[in-house]
Structure 1
Amino acid sequence: MQPLPDVMRPGLKVLFCGINPGLMSAETGHHFARPGNRFWPALHLSGFTPRQLKPSEQRELLEYGLGITNVVDKPSARADELTRAELVAGGEQLVAKVLEVQPEWLAVLGVTAYRDAFAERTAAIGKQDRTIGTTRVWILPNPSGLNAHYTLPKLAEAFAELRQVS
């Protein structure tokens, strides 16, 4: 499988960062491609996009000052299949990407992955004290359908909090 290409360019408002590509995303070349993933609906319901984009329309995010990358490039069926070492190495690569494109915000989608990638055991959802260069960091809930703690309305509300400050 080919690595999933990043959707990013310099000067973004928000660079959304998934944990790693799911198998369907790796197969299709589109981020958050599994039908049960709530990223695209939450993005729209929170006001980041005027309509709900399809995964195949991911490049349109650039028109709205948004982008997508991942902490780890390796595809897997579940994010919990990744090792802590893979997450730490991915965090280092993510820092390099962020320094290159300098978005206003990096929004990491998954608090557990963030904690492992950046060795911040007490990090919580929301704005972080950490910055990467001039980029501020925000943690959002993982939009995977496996994250039952967050319904779509609660997920959209969490995304909307970031949209209001970005």
Structure 2
Amino acid sequence: MPDVIGAGLAVLFCGINPSLYSGATGRHFARPGNRFWPALHLSGFTPRLLDPGEQGLLTDYGLGVTNLVARATARADELSDDELTRGGHRLRGLVAEYEPRVVAVVGITAYRVAFAAPKAVIGAQAELFESVRVWVLPNPSGLNAHYQLPDLAAEFRRLRESLG
């Protein structure tokens, strides 16, 4: 799955790993029912709802997307702690190279494991990656019943508003 990334991004979103559907299509957050794209739009990051096939437009809005782990799975809980930790190291490398203003990890449980932060909560984190702010957002997968679309959009909006 190719990263959608470039220098000078406002936010680099980092998913956990591709679904089997995303892995097959080569498109981030492509599985029907995933709420990443609607939350991105409803929060004001994009002026219209983008389709996963339009992921290349993200950089036009100062946004990018990558994953902690490249391996596609049916569920994120199929990943090992070691895979998530290695993905965390990879993400730190991307952040150091591209220097977005904020890196937003989309999935609290994966963040806690990948960065050995068991008490992390949704929102801004005290930790920086180099000089880059870190933010954690809820997982937008349709399997995450704790957050419905309006709640996801509100969390995404908090991040957007923090950019000033």
- Report the TM-score when normalising by structure 2: 0.98
Is residue 151 from structure 1 mapped to residue 148 from structure 2 by the alignment?
A: yes
What do the CA deviations read for 1:19-66 (whole angstroms, capped 9, x no partner)? 001111111110000110000000000000000000000010100000
Kindly, what percent of the aligned residue pairs are identical? 61
- Cα distance in structure 1, aligned partners of 2:63 and 2:91: 16
Aligned to 1:85: 82
Of residues 19, 22, 29, the one that matches 2:19 is: 22
Measure the CA separation in 1 of the matches of 2:151 and 2:36. Answer: 12
Which residue identity does 1:69 align to in structure 2?
Answer: T
Unaligned runs of 5+ in 2: none
**What residue is the counterpart of 1:135 in the other structure?**
132
1:42 maps to 39
Q: Please identify runs of 4+ aligned residues in structure 1 that moved more than 3 A.
A: none
Could you tell me how far apart the structure 2 residues matched to 1:135 and 1:35 are? 32
Picking from 19, 28, 47, the partner of 1:31 is: 28
- CA RMSD between the two structures: 0.5
After superposition, where does 1:53-68 map in structure 2 within 5 Å? 53-68=50-65
1:165 & 1:66 partners in 2: Cα distance? Answer: 15
- Partners in 2 of 1:66 and 1:117 — Cα distance? 22
Tell me what 1:97 maps to: 94
Cα distance in 2 between the residues matched to 1:135 and 1:27: 32
| SS state at 1:156 partner | helix
Q: What one-letter code is carried by the residue in structure 2 that aligns with 1:74?
A: R
TM-score between the two structures when normalised by the length of structure 1: 0.97
Query: Are 2:108 and 1:111 equivalent residues in the alignment?
Result: yes
- Secondary structure in 2 matching 1:113: helix
Quote the residue 1:124 is aligned against.
121
Match of 2:100, SS state, is coil
Q: How many positions carry a matched residue from both structures?
A: 163
Residue 91 of structure 2 aligns with an amino acid whose one-letter code is L
**1:86 counterpart letter in structure 2:** E
- Structure 1: state its 5+ residue gaps: none
Deviation at 1:133, TM superposition (A): 1.2
